[in-house]
A and B are shown apart, each in its own frame.
Chain A
Amino acid sequence: MSEGSMEPGGAPIRVVIVDDHQIFRTGLRAELGDELEVVGEAADVDEAVECISASAPDVVLLDVHLPGGSGGGGAEVLQRVAQRVQAESRSDPPHLAPAHPGQVSAVHGTRFLALSVSDAADDVVSVIRAGARGYLTKAASGAEVTAAVVRVHGGDAVFSPRLAGFVLDAFGTGLGETAARDDELDRLSAREQEVMRMIARGYAYKEVAAELFLSIKTVETHVSNVLRKLQLSNRHELTAWALQRRLL
């Protein structure tokens, strides 16, 4: 996933890095490309919520494991930011209008990209369900992170091969389940499965598009749909993870 050339090269994308390790933040900051401008850093949940509310960045690079808050880590940051945004925009008490996954980006304009050293499925799924638009492992290079940020900023989802694997697993691809209609939330359509499979094989979107004879835009649409399903589906495997993390 090293292409980001089709994105507009105008104003830099404003980025906040949330990670509890100074050394990692510094390292990442130095590695990020020129398209990005780091406008803030935060080391724990409370700091992150403050920082994001104050600077209203375009993209937040969010560590999954964070100290502080009530122990919810990155997912808690997402929820609290969403609640705050809702409270501001509707001046409703947050408990009357519970945060809906995926509304973070819709209201505030801030999108989240999860970064983690963890491979654990529940870590990944919890932040995605809380509203993150993508997931990368921390071993990703600066160029990869930059490309992912650009993609997330453009409204697309970023799936690492591993996340694609999780998705295929969680949606029962191994059991041969295929959605009959595209809007079915609990299963993937045949096309979406194909796209996920290619991503799990390590193909970039452009390469997936070439391989499946689709346009890049179509691939991106499929990926976004999968992300939406991942966030909204009530499939048992996903709700179990979500329940464990008290996301529902």
Chain B
Amino acid sequence: MDRPKLARSRDDRVIAGVCAGLAEHLGLPVMPVRIGMLGLVLLGGFGGLLYLWLWGTVPRAGETEGIVPLRRALTQPSGTHENTGVDAASAPGAAPAAHRPPAGAAEAAVPVAPALPVVPEEAAGAPPDAPHDSGSEAPRRRWPIAELLLGACLLITGLGLVLERLGVLLQLELLLPALAVLVGVGLTWWQIAERDRPDRNQLPRVLGALALVAVGVLMFFVTSREPSVWTVIAAAIAVLAGVALAIAPWVLRINRELIAERAARAREAERAHIAAHLHDSVLQTLALIQQRSEPGSEIARIARGQERELREWLFRGADGGSAPAREAVDAELRVHAQALEADYAVRFEIVAVGVGSGLLAPDPIVAAAREAMLNAARHAGGDVTVYLEATRDRIAIDVTDRGPGLDPDALPEGRMGVRESILGRMERAGGRATIVPGPGGSGTSVRLALPLDAGEDTEEDGR
């Protein structure tokens, strides 16, 4: 039964679109719902409270999932119709079995907050951080305990108000305990049924709070007729406790977020400090070592590798985020260069133009470039420049070395690397590979070019 989620309507609204949303959710025409709501308002203003509460808790249509935990219970695709409290009591029995798999899925999606050790409650307590996918939520089917409990509470409250208005003497001694028992039972059921639910601490708390608030309000109305010090005090305490209970999770979460944010900021500052220090001292020293040592010597190579590693770390730190996506073509070539520098006496300089933020290149040209870099490292060594230029319709990678040179016409048959992995591969991909003499007539420049079809290729136009 895929019923539209409870959401405040954007277009069809008188005040906040609550009634229209409710009507859509319940599958009723709008008018009766509005009239019903109005009727509830006339009944001692209870409809007004309900309306305000729904306004506050129900997200607007199209909005991202709200922050209010209750929203989850209210927007469940319910498997049953509106029922009476009797069914509510029998319903939760089926809940644990029906509920287990989706809860597991929800927990699997939980570890989002990066640095802190995340307890499950935390992720559920902070929905803005946890992008819980509506996809996994859709198939989740459970008994609408929240709706039922809430309905029962509202029903009883409304009934009480109606009776009270009609002048029927309310038997508070009976009604209040009954309500308390109902809520208590519901909460207990809830706790047992939802044990493995990540946010099990939230919903019962809020429900209890609302029930208590309702009780308090009811008692206010009651006491207006039979004033007694104790009922007034009890009502006040109930309202206060209810509000406190309702607010507690938010306060806790805000506090937690504050602590997390402060910790993150402290970490970032610490990291920046370390980075600055490393930048000033260690990088300089590594540069000096490379400068003073024989070009291509072991020491220069190690220093070069260390410098690259450190630089990558510093760069990541400056962004405060993760390393650039590995698939980005320039990042991939850089990683490859790093690996080659560790194995051969070679120094790669990689210059990328037009790449923007993470261009994904077709596989053949990347593979061919890697092969060309390997060739340069193996046969030429020394300084090798990799020049990558991406335009809208074309990507070109040049690998230039200053080695002994390579005559493409005089390639021995055995040189599969050049013939197959570079030339053949580029031809098959519809590109072009040429091998020309390097700078000053010595060395080799392998020039790879591949046209990009705007339609199929993943061209991420940064600007």
Q: How large is the interface on B (under 10, 10 to 19, 20 to 34, 35 or more residues)?
A: 35 or more
Instruction: Enumerate chain A residues within 8 angstroms of B352, measured Cβ to Cβ.
Output: 165, 169
Instruction: Enumerate chain B residues within 8 angstroms of A175, measured Cβ to Cβ.
Output: 354, 391-392, 463
> Given the complex of chains A and B, what is the CA–CA distance between A93 and B285 in angstroms?
41
Instruction: State the Cβ distance, B330 to closest chain A Cβ, in Å.
Output: 10
> Counting CB contacts under 8 A, is A20 at the interface?
yes
Q: Does A202 lie within 8 Å of B400, measured CB to CB?
A: yes
- The answer to whether A174 and B287 touch (CB under 8 A), given A31-B292, A65-B279, A201-B400, is no
Q: Does B387 lie within 8 Å of A197, measured CB to CB?
A: yes
Instruction: Enumerate chain B residues within 8 angstroms of A142, measured Cβ to Cβ.
Output: 291
> Counting CB contacts under 8 A, is B157 at the interface?
no
Segment at the interface with B among A21-29, A82-90, A215-223: A21-29
Q: Does A31 lie within 8 Å of B389, measured CB to CB?
A: no
> Counting CB contacts under 8 A, is A206 at the interface?
yes
Q: Does A141 lie within 8 Å of B287, measured CB to CB?
A: no
Instruction: State the Cβ distance, B448 to closest chain A Cβ, in Å.
Output: 13
Instruction: State the Cβ distance, A214 to closest chain B Cβ, in Å.
Output: 14
Instruction: State the Cβ distance, B413 to closest chain A Cβ, in Å.
Output: 30
> Counting CB contacts under 8 A, is B349 at the interface?
yes
Q: Does B439 lie within 8 Å of A204, measured CB to CB?
A: yes
Give 1 or 0 for each of A142-166: 1 = CB within 8 Å of chain B CB: 1000000000000000000110110
Instruction: Enumerate chain B residues within 8 angstroms of A197, measured Cβ to Cβ.
Output: 387, 389
Q: Does B287 lie within 8 Å of A24, measured CB to CB?
A: yes
- The answer to whether A119 and B311 touch (CB under 8 A), given A142-B291, A202-B383, is yes
Q: Does B398 lie within 8 Å of A210, measured CB to CB?
A: no
Instruction: State the Cβ distance, A35 to closest chain B Cβ, in Å.
Output: 18
> Given the complex of chains A and B, what is the CA–CA distance between A135 and B354 in angstroms?
21
> Counting CB contacts under 8 A, is A203 at the interface?
yes
> Counting CB contacts under 8 A, is A10 at the interface?
no
- CB closest residue in chain A, given B447: A201
Q: Does B291 lie within 8 Å of A207, measured CB to CB?
A: no
Of B307, B354, B383, B385, the residue contacting A174 (CB under 8 A) is B354
Of A141, A169, A203, A210, the residue contacting B291 (CB under 8 A) is A141
> Counting CB contacts under 8 A, is B280 at the interface?
yes
Of A117, A173, A202, A206, the residue contacting B284 (CB under 8 A) is A117
> Counting CB contacts under 8 A, is B290 at the interface?
yes
- CB closest residue in chain A, given B318: A120
> Counting CB contacts under 8 A, is B111 at the interface?
no
- CB closest residue in chain A, given B388: A165
> Given the complex of chains A and B, what is the CA–CA distance between A165 and B295 in angstroms?
24
Q: Does A174 lie within 8 Å of B280, measured CB to CB?
A: no
Instruction: State the Cβ distance, A237 to closest chain B Cβ, in Å.
Output: 9
Of B292, B384, B387, the residue contacting A165 (CB under 8 A) is B387
Q: Does A138 lie within 8 Å of B280, measured CB to CB?
A: no
Instruction: Enumerate chain A residues within 8 angstroms of B389, measured Cβ to Cβ.
Output: 168, 173-174, 197
> Counting CB contacts under 8 A, is A200 at the interface?
yes
Instruction: Enumerate chain B residues within 8 angstroms of A165, measured Cβ to Cβ.
Output: 351-353, 387
Q: Does B284 lie within 8 Å of A24, measured CB to CB?
A: yes
> Counting CB contacts under 8 A, is A139 at the interface?
yes
> Counting CB contacts under 8 A, is B283 at the interface?
yes
> Counting CB contacts under 8 A, is A140 at the interface?
yes
Of A65, A118, A141, A168, the residue contacting B295 (CB under 8 A) is A141
Instruction: State the Cβ distance, A37 to closest chain B Cβ, in Å.
Output: 20
Instruction: State the Cβ distance, B180 to closest chain A Cβ, in Å.
Output: 63
- CB closest residue in chain A, given B295: A141
Q: Does A161 lie within 8 Å of B280, measured CB to CB?
A: no
> Counting CB contacts under 8 A, is B9 at the interface?
no
> Counting CB contacts under 8 A, is B76 at the interface?
no
Instruction: State the Cβ distance, B297 to closest chain A Cβ, in Å.
Output: 12
Q: Does A27 lie within 8 Å of B288, measured CB to CB?
A: yes
Q: Does A139 lie within 8 Å of B351, measured CB to CB?
A: no
Instruction: Enumerate chain A residues within 8 angstroms of B402, measured Cβ to Cβ.
Output: 202
Q: Does B291 lie within 8 Å of A139, measured CB to CB?
A: yes
Query: Top 8 nearest A-B pairs by Cβ distance?
Result: A174-B354, A202-B385, A165-B351, A207-B439, A138-B287, A203-B439, A168-B353, A117-B283
Jot down 18 A-B pairs with beta carbons below 8 A, ordered by A: A20-B280, A27-B288, A31-B291, A117-B283, A119-B311, A139-B304, A142-B291, A165-B351, A169-B355, A173-B354, A174-B356, A174-B390, A174-B391, A174-B392, A176-B392, A202-B387, A202-B439, A203-B439
